[in-house]
Amino acid sequence: MAKTIILVNNYNDVDSIDTNDLTDTKIFSLNIETHKHLEKRNISHEIGETYLSENERIKLFDKAVDFHNWYEKNKDLKFFEFENINLLGLLDTVEFHTFLINELITFFTIHNIIEHEQPDRIFSSQNLSEIIKLLVTDNIEYNFYTNQFSQKLQWDEITVKQNIGPLPISFNISRNTFSKIKSIWERIICSFFNLWFNFKNSDQKTILFLEFYPPLYEKLLFNLQKNGYNIIFLNRRKPAVFDYKSIKLLRKVNGKIINPNNLINSDEKNQIQIVANEYLQKIESIFSNDEIFDNLFNFNNYNLWKLVKNKLLETYKIRLYDYVLSLKFSKNLFKKINVSCILGLNEIGETEKSIIASKNNKIPTILLEHGFSNFSSESARFGILANYSNFNDKIAVWSDKQKSFLIDFFKLDPSRIIVSGSPRHDYLFENNEPTINTKNKTILIAPTPITQIQGFDTTDIHLQYELILRKILTTLKKLNCNIVIKLHPSQNIHNKMIKNLVSQIDKKIPIHLISPISELIDLSDIVITITPESWAPSTIILESLIQNRPIININLDKHLQEFDFIKTESILSISNNSDVEKNISDLILDDELQDKLIQNGQKFVKTFLHSPGIASFTLAEKIKLIEESNNSKGRN
């Protein structure tokens, strides 16, 4: 036990530590970045995250999920309803969840450290002050040093990614700046290429796509066009006309973009500003009354409201106008356009929540499964973020096995589940013959980043990840392989860490940010994936199987999942504790092993995917049947 403890949760905090006298003092790092900076300065410390067990982290994940609908649990918060929809509930669920679980983990990590050390004094940065004040007793002295660091929500800043030749370029800009640039870009592109929706066609039956990148669903778009639908896109995050590939496709299928100026006039905008200001006054008033929230954020006899209050208030003050605008826009859209069906990839984003809440119940919404979902009974709790239990419309899945899981675990009505296969992968079945590279092998490394969502973003998992990536790169360089890195497209801080590590080892290794994964797989002989959490295999595994590429997946998670593609030996699945160098060398040098994996992989794909190669046609026909059924009910 130490009389004094110093808690470090940001690398800038390291400069505030007086290293001249650390007698009877323990320093605790609270994340990978602070650990590395302390190591770099040769400052002795302990990794604070080790004081929070795996079981505790799982309980905190469950509690964070329980807090998702906090705004529904007090009658005073109903004052925030606009158009019968609670504005507080429009915040992106994953964004809120990630912020919340980080706060919970930090709180209970510090709680356990204090309980174990029983210190007389605590030093920390100012941004931990609310946690410390909630935890310490009167006989513990505490001091805070100034730190300008404050946690941001996921969409406070937008990461802009681009590859310029072999160089990966990414940078962050504010949400507001991104929105302005996006608006200007859409105005120029849609006007020049005639991509704005023409309201003269508003009576024609229409399919509304929410937050889609069109080229991923090219065949589905063509099938829907063939069935006589208008196709329109509503993207408030990444524009649907992001690149020339998107523009070219939209022109081919006569796809259109909604122009907000055609749905909201200047008088309505003025009224929206007045309404937003009224809600702003309400939120400042209600958030100042802590008693209202006393029972909303309780856990283990601690009132955690003060941990989230300031960030929530700051976020709502910035976004309230957008939320009111979005709801008004959504209501007008359904008044002016004959929407037959809505297609989305989730129902927990801000765009999706606004649209789904504003539509009438006669318009079906179909959520498309868009990842390689392989939940088991042990990992099913993490599937709760898909929010299937709160979504009451239709879900299109890739396989009968996924349908069975949704029925068994979420108790969903089987009639709500459409087994369509994967429309986004139809094009991969057109030509998936492997190419033979007679010279040096090209190896594609697709590292899945560590996320904060489940609460296992620990220093230990980062160190394991770094060690494994170094082993992989060293082994491949010894074998004279050509190495290509494909980062996950998500907005994730770990991607930056991976990029920096690869550049430290070899700056010549190409790192791709937005290049189509299918093209990179096609140019590769073997694919290596790294999975920090074994319950969430990368979709690149399935895509590589379809494209006849041998795959080795390295799990960092001690809880290895026995998925069907592992049981059938369709991939080589190993843990980070195995002989990674030998396994990689064996796969690269053993043609028979490669052939065996490819053959087994093809068998797996045929048994797992429904309608392989024709999923777009299958889904388009099912949408047609749903519409016809709805029309028939309407006539009756």
Q: The domain that contains 202 carries what CATH number?
A: 3.40.50
Is 157 inside a domain boundary?
no
Are 489 and 630 in the same domain? Answer: no
Provide the CB-side half-sphere exposure for 117 (13 A, CA).
26
Q: Kindly provide the residue ranges of all beta strands, DSSP E only, lying in 53-148, ordered along the sequence.
A: 81-82, 85-86, 121-125, 141-145
**Regarding predicted confidence, which is higher, 145 or 327?**
327
Which helix or strand (DSSP H or E) is residue 469 part of?
helix 459-478
Are 128 and 192 in the same domain? Answer: no
Is 163 inside a domain boundary?
no
What is residue 159's predicted lDDT score, i.e. its pLDDT?
60
Residue 15 pLDDT level (bands cut at 50, 70, 90): confident
What is residue 295's predicted lDDT score, i.e. its pLDDT?
84
What is residue 628's predicted lDDT score, i.e. its pLDDT?
77
**Regarding predicted confidence, which is higher, 286 or 534?**
286
How many domains is the chain partitioned into structurally? 4
Are 181 and 253 in the same domain? Answer: yes
130-134, 179-183, 429-433, 491-495: least confident range: 429-433
What is residue 370's predicted lDDT score, i.e. its pLDDT?
85
Of 239, 232, 262, residue with least CA distance to 180:
239
What is residue 372's predicted lDDT score, i.e. its pLDDT?
83
Q: Give the structural domain span for 414.
A: 173-260+339-422+614-635
Are 252 and 196 in the same domain? Answer: yes
Are 61 and 102 in the same domain? Answer: yes
Is 166 inside a domain boundary?
no
Can you say how many angstroms the Cα of residue 441 is from the centroid of all Cα atoms in its chain?
Answer: 32
Is 412 inside a domain boundary?
yes
Are 31 and 136 in the same domain? Answer: yes
Are 460 and 558 in the same domain? Answer: yes
What is residue 125's predicted lDDT score, i.e. its pLDDT?
87
Is 474 inside a domain boundary?
yes
Are 256 and 375 in the same domain? Answer: yes
Residue 154: both structure tokens together: 């996921």
In eight-state DSSP terms, residue 393 is S
Residues paired with residue 233 on neighbouring β-strands, in sequence order: 209, 257
Domain end: 125, 145, 165, which one? 145
Is 328 inside a domain boundary?
no
pLDDT in tens, 585-599: 999 999 999 999 999
**Regarding predicted confidence, which is higher, 43 or 391?**
43
- What CATH number does residue 476 fall under? 3.40.50.2000
Is 151 inside a domain boundary?
no
Q: In the predicted model, what is the mean pLDDT of residues 124-150? A: 82
Are 74 and 24 in the same domain? Answer: yes
Q: Which long-range contacts (CB under 8 A, 24 or more apart) does 222-227 make?
A: 222/252, 222/253, 222/616, 223/616, 223/617, 223/619, 223/620, 223/621, 224/253, 224/620, 224/623, 225/253, 225/254, 226/620, 227/620, 227/621, 227/623, 227/624
Residue 391 pLDDT level (bands cut at 50, 70, 90): confident
Are 201 and 248 in the same domain? Answer: yes
Single-letter amino acid code for the residue at 556: L
Q: In the predicted model, what is the mean pLDDT of residues 55-63? A: 93
Q: In the predicted model, what is the mean pLDDT of residues 126-143? A: 87
pLDDT of 359 over the 80 cut:
yes
Domain end: 102, 125, 145, which one? 145
Residue 459 pLDDT level (bands cut at 50, 70, 90): very high
pLDDT of 334 over the 90 cut:
yes
Are 589 and 517 in the same domain? Answer: yes
Residue 11 pLDDT level (bands cut at 50, 70, 90): confident
Q: In the predicted model, what is the mean pLDDT of residues 476-482? A: 95
Are 355 and 379 in the same domain? Answer: yes
Which helix or strand (DSSP H or E) is residue 110 part of?
helix 93-117
Q: In the predicted model, what is the mean pLDDT of residues 207-224? A: 96
Is 597 inside a domain boundary?
yes
What is residue 22's predicted lDDT score, i.e. its pLDDT?
74
For 549, residues 6+ apart whose C-beta sits below 8 A from its C-beta are 434, 521, 524, 525, 526, 527, 598
144-158, 541-555, 566-580: least confident range: 144-158
Share of the chain above pLDDT 90, in %: 62
pLDDT of 158 over the 70 cut:
no
Mean of per-residue pLDDT scores for the chain: 88
What is residue 208's predicted lDDT score, i.e. its pLDDT?
97
